[in-house]
Structures are given as C-alpha cells and as structure tokens.
Amino acid sequence: MKKTNLSDYNPEAVPDGSPYAIGIVAALWNSEITDALLEGARTTLLEHGVREENMHVYRVPGTFELPTAAQMLLRQRKLDAVICIGCVIQGETRHFDFICDAVSNGITRVSLDEERPVIFSVLTTNNMEQAQERAGGRHGNKGVEGAVSALQMCALQKRLIED
C-alpha cells in the first residue's frame, strides 16, 4: 500500500489568515485522535497568520454535538469560519452510520443556514489504526486539511463580498 500523506499542500497557495477569526469545535470522545487533529489545525492556522486571540477553541462531548456547537459559535461570536473536529470509529452496530450521517448533514446545514464556512474535519474510520494514520500518522492530519480549507473558504467569501 502506498504511504501517501493526504495532508500535503502548497503553503504558498494558502491565503493569509491574519484578517480572520476562526472557531474550532473539537469532540472530547476519542480524544487521543481529536487532540492531535486540534493541534494540527491550530498550528496550521498560526503558521498562516491567524492570531491566537482570533482563534476560539471549544470542546464538546462527542462528534454528534459538533453541528450544534458550530451554529452556537457562529451566532454568538463574530467568526469567519468554524472547523469541526471529531472522530467516529466503526463499531459492531449501526450507530456509526447514524452518527456520521447526522454530523455530515448537520455541518452542511449549519454552513448553508449561517452562510459561513463550516469545515468537516471529522474522521470516519473502520478502526483506531486508521484514525491514528490520519491524525498525524502516515496519511497526514485531517486537522491541517481543515485549517487550510477554512482559510481558502474565508478568502473566497471575502473575494465574493468585495466583487
């Protein structure tokens, strides 16, 4: 199997984050994974100019709560985007399917309703090993990808407003 870092990106293609305020909501469930994703997102935002005081990080019990927390943040804080960080690992029941479906639809709905980017940095894996590979392991860090996406979407929104 090819060991590909899915999080590789061209740093020069990422917009300057200094004008943006970014919210991050991260699930506490599977914290070994979500902590690594959160660190990847925070580090990437800082590397691209988002000031520490313009980064608003909140923890929620689990991945299911991410859409609600994102909407609460967007309504209570002046934010340009929210990154949702979670990890759902397949178990023996259909719970995995229900959670993944609810979260992906919920994040999409919040983004559309609030007309601001809400980024899906949620791992949906078959096992813990796959999650670890995508939380700083051989396949990169989905938190890094979420931070890059947030900055790109913020820049797009700004450009559309200015045009």
Q: Of 134, 57, 133, 120, give the one whose Cα is nearest residue 86.
A: 120
Where do the H-state alpha helices sit in 31-121?
A: 31-47, 66-76, 95-114
48, 56, 95, 139: which is the annotated catalytic residue? 95
- Give the list of residues 6+ apart from residue 65 with CB closer than 8 angstroms, or none: 25, 27
95 part of the active site: yes
- Give the list of residues 6+ apart from residue 31 with CB closer than 8 angstroms, or none: none
**Tokens standing for 151?**
């900055």
- The answer to whether 143 and 36 are in contact (CB under 8 A) is yes
* Number of neighbours of residue 9 by Cβ within 10 angstroms: 17
Q: How many Cα atoms sit within 13 Å of 111 on the Cβ side?
A: 19
Catalytic residues: 95
